Structure 1
């Protein structure tokens, strides 16, 4: 049963107490508020919200719409969650959710796509995903669309995200503050202009976006020195989550982290790691393991400052001949194979050119060539 309450002759709200359904050929446009206290989650038709002012969705049960069109100039306000099972389009207005109640969100189900988002049309609050594909959350704040992206591995567990155009030191919707002077050694500075809240218990790379209002030049001159950072729940400080790819310039772009579990971090934002310059490490590109005490091993000076590293060495055919975690000057590679693939273990490697890849946690890989001369 569907009841519509009346005030005089004006309809105030569509109030569902029973079992409502929009069939596959059906379409319904709501020009009034929707209150759902019944079953309204088996829809297979098209639903639209239309108003020159604002509309509200409330009640005790979350409605789930198949195709959803939002054309509400003064915003669609969600007091309960709303699900989308197939497709959603932004035409006018934002979708507003209460940032104090994470459970109230716009929920994208079964990888439901969307279009029409921009700086005036987005989810101002929390959006949630259940699916199997990479996903970009259409979230923003203060009339700014600022998406955050996750990979498919994290898409199926109800990952949830929101963007906050706020100083992490003085957040409005969190019990704690996130001191931007508290960060680990590999970092140099933390953004004081914005952050994201991302929830999820599956590992994923996370991609953050920035625009001119992000004030990236206050952190770095070169976006290659930019890092994704997270406030660690365990350590109670900002930690470096890496820069596996970065595109754009200081005015607009995006950056991806290494693989992380979002639930390990209260919030995410941008940081800089411009202490790690080329001059911090010196790679010796000649190895002559003849026992004369000169260049007998492959040396990388400065690695004592970066103990969380791993070194890979390949021959000219791309065969891995050496691998070592926490490589340092007292455990140098002396031209002896570790027994990878077709190269016998403990055998001397022949003269020639070799290729190294050095991974330091929280930074982009460094790579280059060196020569073994016997």
Structure 2
């Protein structure tokens, strides 16, 4: 008896010969790929039948995009993804042996967590990078250490869990957006609400990690994470989580940190992911000594969160001056006797190449704080619009 690949190929040949156009492979019955069989899909897949007892290889190939949909979740053995414009999942797809990214992303609906690329039984993957990852949710069931190949905004930003954390399945996705104004959550995660051991929370990104088993969690960062707005030394970085019970950000620790301010990874203490809505980076150390605290994330959009550049405690040092420069060293703001009610709100007051009273573009800037009788202090701030 011919294997499924041969039957499938002959079927498509007959349809083409008869002059029909087939825009999707629609399974209504019980399809199966036997051991050693190989099937390449160049059209969409609709699975309304059984397609979950497979032992061969499936490939998705297109210069455009392909979609997997239907009433039932297909489960494949080996999967190769080579879809230039992405493989869209309208239904969860499982992998039991091996999955390879060749071209394009796997894209899931972030508002439906049950639709994901499922790595079953510690199924490994290969070929992920900034152009090839799961753009949405991925899940794991297994017993080994695992790094979820998730990302957003054409950036791979994996999150890692330890062995045993996915005994009852674990799920993760990455969001390159401000926790204060998330697009896919009904709750806002106020980055100014945090416990006493913290001094700041990232406004640039977060992860959603689900799981009911205790594990250390490892987050990764790159230059777009703007870590210098939180710390000057990565040893002061912390994993933080929005506590479901406390409704604020809490310190989840720093048991290991690797890298520099532009690239690296950090591991938390043991946590139960389901205790936290989302995870991101925080700071456990003040950027300035003494009684001053600098809030280096500025998002002047009128939502009441980080609308201005604040230096808490500066009122006790009235003989001060704040200067802010852009990335090319051009002065864009300068004020003497800078206090909390006279804050920089992303408007240029400089001269030279920057027009006065113009809105400054989103990006990283450099501040210098001068206090009479003290050493100048400096650091980075970031404007997000």
In the alignment, does 2:121 pair up with 1:110?
yes
Match of 1:170 among 172, 175, 181: 181
Question: What is the DSSP-based 3-state SS (H/G/I as helix, E as strand, rest coil) of the residue aligned with 1:224?
Answer: helix
Q: How far has the Cα of 1:187 moved from its partner?
A: 0.1
Cα distance in structure 1, aligned partners of 2:257 and 2:149:
20
Aligned to 2:248: 237
Aligned to 1:141: 152
Contact (CA 8 Å) 1:15, 1:34: kept in 2 or not?
Answer: yes
Q: How far has the Cα of 1:177 moved from its partner?
A: 0.5
Q: How far has the Cα of 1:157 moved from its partner?
A: 1.4
Match of 1:252 among 263, 272, 277: 263
Select the structure of larger CA radius of gyration: 1
Aligned to 1:199: 210
Q: How far has the Cα of 1:170 moved from its partner?
A: 0.3
Match of 1:89 among 77, 100, 105: 100
Cα distance in structure 2, aligned partners of 1:8 and 1:190:
60
Deviations 1:52-76 (A, max 9, x none): 0000000011001100000000000
Match of 1:66 among 67, 73, 77: 77
Q: How far has the Cα of 1:155 moved from its partner?
A: 2.0
Q: Which stretches in structure 2 are left out of the alignment for 5+ residues?
A: 1-6, 292-385
Contact (CA 8 Å) 1:71, 1:91: kept in 2 or not?
Answer: yes
1:314-329 matched pairs, under 5 angstroms? none
Cα distance in structure 2, aligned partners of 1:10 and 1:239:
57
Deviations 1:309-331 (A, max 9, x none): xxxxxxxxxxxxxxxxxxxxxxx
Aligned to 1:265: 276
1:207-356 matched pairs, under 5 angstroms? 207-275=218-286
Aligned to 2:27: 16
Contact (CA 8 Å) 1:162, 1:198: kept in 2 or not?
Answer: yes
Deviations 1:134-171 (A, max 9, x none): 00000000000000000012122110000000000000
In the alignment, does 2:41 pair up with 1:34?
no
Aligned to 1:330: none
Aligned to 1:53: 64
Contact (CA 8 Å) 1:188, 1:273: kept in 2 or not?
Answer: yes
Aligned to 2:172: 161
Cα distance in structure 1, aligned partners of 2:131 and 2:119:
20
Aligned to 1:183: 194
Q: Which stretches in structure 1 are left out of the alignment for 5+ residues?
A: 281-374
Cα distance in structure 2, aligned partners of 1:254 and 1:214:
11
Q: Call closer, same or farther: CA 1:24–1:222 in 2, change over 3 Å.
A: same
Deviations 1:202-232 (A, max 9, x none): 1100000000000000000000000000000
Contact (CA 8 Å) 2:67, 2:89: kept in 1 or not?
Answer: yes
Question: What is the DSSP-based 3-state SS (H/G/I as helix, E as strand, rest coil) of the residue aligned with 1:217?
Answer: helix
TM-score in terms of structure 1 length: 0.72
Question: What is the DSSP-based 3-state SS (H/G/I as helix, E as strand, rest coil) of the residue aligned with 1:157?
Answer: coil
Question: What is the DSSP-based 3-state SS (H/G/I as helix, E as strand, rest coil) of the residue aligned with 2:164?
Answer: helix
Cα distance in structure 2, aligned partners of 1:266 and 1:88:
29
